[in-house]
Amino acid sequence: MTKKTWIFSQKLIASSLLVISWIAPTLAQQPRENNSPRVDIYNFEKRVVFHTPRIKNCEEEGNWCRLTSTGQDLQPGDWLKTHKNAMAKLSILPQHALYNQGQNSTSKFSPEKERCGFLIDQGGGLAMHDSNSPTKSCKIETSEVELKPTGTALFVWRRKQAQETIVGVLSDGPITVINNQNGNTIELGNGEVAVVSADGGLQRGEFSLRRFYEDNRIALGLGCGERHEAYVNQQSTEIRELLSKIRQETCEASRAQDESGLSELTTVIDLPTFTAPVDDGFPFPAFGGV
Tens of pLDDT, residue by residue over 33-80, are 556 678 899 998 888 988 887 776 676 666 788 888 888 888 889 999
- Helices and strands (H and E) in the chain: how many: 4, 18
Contacts of 97 (CB under 8 A, 6+ apart): 91, 116, 127, 128, 129, 130, 135, 137, 138
Q: Are 115 and 144 spatial neighbours (Cβ–Cβ below 8 Å)?
A: no
241, containing H or E segment? helix 237-260
Q: How large is the average pLDDT for residues 236-252?
A: 94
253, containing H or E segment? helix 237-260
Q: What is the CATH number of domain 36-268?
A: 2.60.120.1440
The domain limits of the chain are 36-268
Tell me the per-residue pLDDT of 190-212, one tens digit each, with 9 for 90 and over: 899 999 999 888 888 888 899 88
pLDDT of residue 17: 39
Contacts of 48 (CB under 8 A, 6+ apart): 41, 66, 67, 80, 81, 82, 83, 86, 87, 88
Does 257 score more than 60 pLDDT? yes
pLDDT of residue 65: 84
Which of 7-21, 117-131, 203-217 is the least confident region? 7-21
Does 238 score more than 80 pLDDT? yes
Q: Which of the given ranges, 1-5, 30-34, 231-235, has the highest pLDDT on average?
A: 231-235
251, containing H or E segment? helix 237-260
Between 10 and 47, the higher pLDDT residue: 47
CA-CA distance, 136 to 244, in Å (whole number)?
A: 18
Which of 140-154, 205-219, 253-267 is the least confident region? 253-267
Tell me the per-residue pLDDT of 154-198, one tens digit each, with 9 for 90 and over: 999 999 998 999 999 999 878 889 999 888 888 998 899 999 999
Does 7 score more than 50 pLDDT? no
Does 275 score more than 90 pLDDT? no
Q: What is the pTM of this model?
A: 0.80
Between 153 and 134, the higher pLDDT residue: 153
Which of 5-9, 21-25, 205-209 is the least confident region? 21-25
Tell me the per-residue pLDDT of 79-104, one tens digit each, with 9 for 90 and over: 999 988 888 999 988 889 999 999 89
